Chains A and B, each alone.
Chain A
Amino acid sequence: MRKFLRIGAALVLCAALAATAAQAGPKKQSVVNLTFATYVWQPTTVAAVNNIVAAWNKSHASIQVQVVPVDVNSVHDKLLTSFVGGSAADIVHDEAADISGFTQQGYLANLTPLIPKDLKAEIPKPVWASVDFGHKITGVPIMSQTYNVFANMDLLKAAGIKAPTVASPWTWDRFRAVAKQLSTNGNFGVCWGLRSPTATIQTMSLNWGGQWNYLQNGRWVLNVGKGEQKMLTTIHDMIYDDKSVDPAGVGLSGSAVLPSFFGGKCAMTIQGNYQGQGMISQSPKGFNWAMFPPLKGDTQDQAANPQTLSISQQSQHKTEAMQFIAYVLNSQNMAKLAAGDWLIPAAPSAGTLVVKSTKHYGFWRNAISAVPKLVKANWVSLVPYARWKAEVATPAFRSYLGNQLSLDALIKQLTGGWDSIRG
């Protein structure tokens, strides 16, 4: 009797298992699970990303996406180990200048055949150029950043200085003059955190057409010509001749000079436009700040070096991943992300949405006005650039701005370093 009961129980169990397997089978096979590695860290952006992913998961039962946070300070290292370890996410959030290395190493999928036509049309050509590596596009731009002047409007008003407008922005000469005028009584016109000066210097030299890297006889060389030198000497002279830049802040990071700015030690500061977030969260009560449109040299051009979304070559579901990317980058979602991170969305249509929806109208209008000024910068997509920037440029620029290196010696170091790294 017991034997029969046992066999019977076993049979029932097997049948139940088979039934659940049969039910679970087809359902499981049709769900594609994607991982999305992102380094967003500002609380507003993190919330925006989570909302977008949740909305996607709700409306796309067969393609489920999971967010994998990445530490913002070691994005490259973490991504590299995940690629080498074979555990990379399907969708990878990075930056245009950073993905050139991964592209060359073959870790990123070629997106050219996958990008939907309307997404391609939405984003301006110069921005696409920053993720184009020899006609192989490995990233979709999301949002960009520019460097702008932030000013303490109370101090400016007291000196009778009017703010620039989008229609008539300040030139560098005007900026220098104002800075000099406001440097009195132990205070300075400008606080400028130049601990990581390379991006600032290079992008702003585009105001004078300084592209730094040029194609010569099929090879990319580094030329520190008139345009490039103009930016270098301008900053140097502002610190040492005009004495309008606080020397104590020159070795600090951008965020670290904010206390001096809030404390009234300096009337203006040059920051990435995302620092609007810092203004709001850290400034004392009643602090009257404003962000100006980009400064003008010969032009207001700045480098297009956007944050990007890429698909890893090791991903098994590239088409589905692209569907998700297209969703994240539709106008509404792009606007939400940009607003959360205080960055400029890659698509102008999203830009309009942000301006409409925000209460910081002045800031956003000036920020979005920079979109037509974003141009292709030659150095962004070059493979030796990452190493040159970290090992040669940043230390050399810092020495020069610390007055420990002459301009000629700086040029020698920069070009020599480039040649030896490029090989």
Chain B
Amino acid sequence: MTLVPEPRGFRSRRPRQRAGVGLSGAESLVLLIPALLPILVLSVAPLARGIYLGFTDSRAGLGVTTHFIGIDNFRALIHDTLFVNSFKIGLIWAGCVTAIQFCLALGLALLLSQPLHGRWLARSLALVPWAMPSVLVGIMWKLFFQPQAGILNEGLYRAHLPGSSIDWLSDFTWALPAVILVGVWAGMPQTTVALLAGVQSVSDDLHEAAAVDGASAWRRFRDITLPQLRPVIIAITTLDLIWNFNSFGLVYVLTLGGPGHSTELPMLFAYNEAFKYGEFGYASALGDAMVVVITGFLIVYLWGRLKETTS
């Protein structure tokens, strides 16, 4: 934001002496209400009720009443192999996608801050997934992975590499890796942008001074860039983990959780429970369990931030 020049005749005085400049409680409320009301009605209240539903036997059915059943849903969840499976897949997915995304995005960010021809192309392409609905990303990669009319298998066939007849998205072993690849691709924008800004904000003077002192590119990266990047890295990695764990649309279009539940993320499992079988209470209990995991990620983030502010 550009700084606007000070108005004429202004002299700094202590704000407290100025009557009515700070926001009064009434004013704040009035300005906030248009936002506050919808948020309370359509976000806070449903969320609270959703969390509560996890402790009930709410289900679809004409004239069915809902009863509070305590932790019965959670007891059933622990013994539900499909639930455990979806959590396992969710953690594997979130971990792998975030880790690979981070490495690739960091590499790209470093490259983009070098004076290379054609980096505008790389930067624009890195942002494209942001502009596409997850459904479209799914469709695009589905075309890519198509076993008989897709380019991947054709490329493997021509290069005489193995795997040219694998139906990637239907294969019990390869579906999850394939889907992880797509997840990485779809998540490049936000990670690249965050890391790029972080890399570019590292002062050039430090790099120059270090270069003059004879430090190699790798040493400079490790001792100057990385430490300064720490807050950005922690922030974007935590956000990525949470977003990825909650992912739905991409895998819904790619595999619908198949084959045989090998790509069934928690959100997909919950969606099926709710909208296929009408088990609303059970699905909400699953959501509550997801919240616990996410809180875990958040705690790690806050701990990381705390360490950074105290160090």
Contacts and interface: CB of A to CB of B under 8 A. Distances in A.
B259 A256 contact: no
B278 A84 contact: yes
Contacts of A394: 260
Given A80-B276, A402-B172, A106 B62 contact: yes
A84 B172 CA distance: 35
Contact of A105 (B60, B260, B275): B60
Contact of B165 (A106, A248, A256, A387): A248
B63 interface: yes
Nearest to A248: B165
Contact of A399 (B61, B172, B276): B172
B123 interface: no
Contacts of A81: 275
B60 A260 contact: no
A248 B166 CA distance: 7
Interface in A71-101: 76-77, 80-81, 83-84, 101
B260 A77 contact: no
A107 B62 contact: yes
A238 interface: no
A107 B63 CA distance: 10
A395 B170 CA distance: 11
Interface string A238-265: 0000000000100110001001100000
A390 interface: yes
Interface string A378-404: 000000001100110011101100101
A106 B278 contact: no
A343 to B, nearest CB: 24
A192 to B, nearest CB: 14
Contacts, number: 64
Contacts of B261: 391, 395
Contact of B60 (A83, A386, A391): A83
Interface in B250-288: 258-261, 272, 275-278
Contacts of B165: 248
A399 B261 CA distance: 12
B46 to A, nearest CB: 15
Nearest to A74: B275
B62 A387 contact: no
Contact of A404 (B61, B63, B147, B172): B172
Given A251-B171, A395-B261, A80 B62 contact: no
Contact of A77 (B170, B172, B276): B276
B82 interface: yes
A195 interface: yes
B113 interface: no
Interface in B135-186: 147-149, 165, 167, 170-172
Interface string B30-68: 000000000000000000000000000000111110000
A402 B259 CA distance: 12
Given A80-B275, A81-B275, A399-B172, A251 B167 contact: yes
Contacts of A248: 147, 165, 167
Nearest to B275: A77
Contact of A398 (B64, B260, B277): B260
Interface in A360-415: 386-387, 390-391, 394-396, 398-399, 402, 404
Contact of A391 (B61, B82, B170, B172): B82
Given A105-B62, A107-B62, A252 B276 contact: no
Contact of A252 (B60, B61, B82, B167): B167
A187 interface: no
Contacts of B277: 101, 386-387
A314 interface: yes
A138 interface: no
A195 B275 CA distance: 23
Contacts of B171: 251
Task: Kindly name the residue among A195, A251, A396 whose own CB sees the greatest number of chain B CB atoms within 10 A.
Answer: A251
B231 to A, nearest CB: 42
Contacts of A84: 60, 278
A105 B60 CA distance: 7
A395 B259 contact: yes
A106 B276 contact: no
A307 interface: no
Contact of B276 (A76, A195, A260, A402): A76
A313 interface: yes
B150 to A, nearest CB: 11
A313 B277 CA distance: 19
Contacts of B258: 395
Given A105-B61, A395-B261, A404-B172, A80 B167 contact: no
Contacts of A386: 276-277
Nearest to A106: B62
Nearest to B165: A248
Given A391-B82, A402-B172, A256 B62 contact: no
30 contacts: A76-B276, A77-B275, A80-B276, A83-B62, A101-B278, A105-B278, A106-B61, A106-B63, A107-B62, A248-B147, A248-B167, A251-B170, A251-B259, A252-B147, A252-B170, A256-B147, A259-B149, A260-B148, A314-B62, A390-B272, A390-B276, A391-B82, A391-B261, A395-B259, A395-B260, A395-B261, A398-B172, A398-B259, A399-B172, A402-B172
**What are the 4 tightest A-B residue pairs by CB atom distance, in nearest-first order?**
A395-B260, A106-B62, A105-B61, A251-B170
Interface of B: 60-64, 82, 147-149, 165, 167, 170-172, 258-261, 272, 275-278
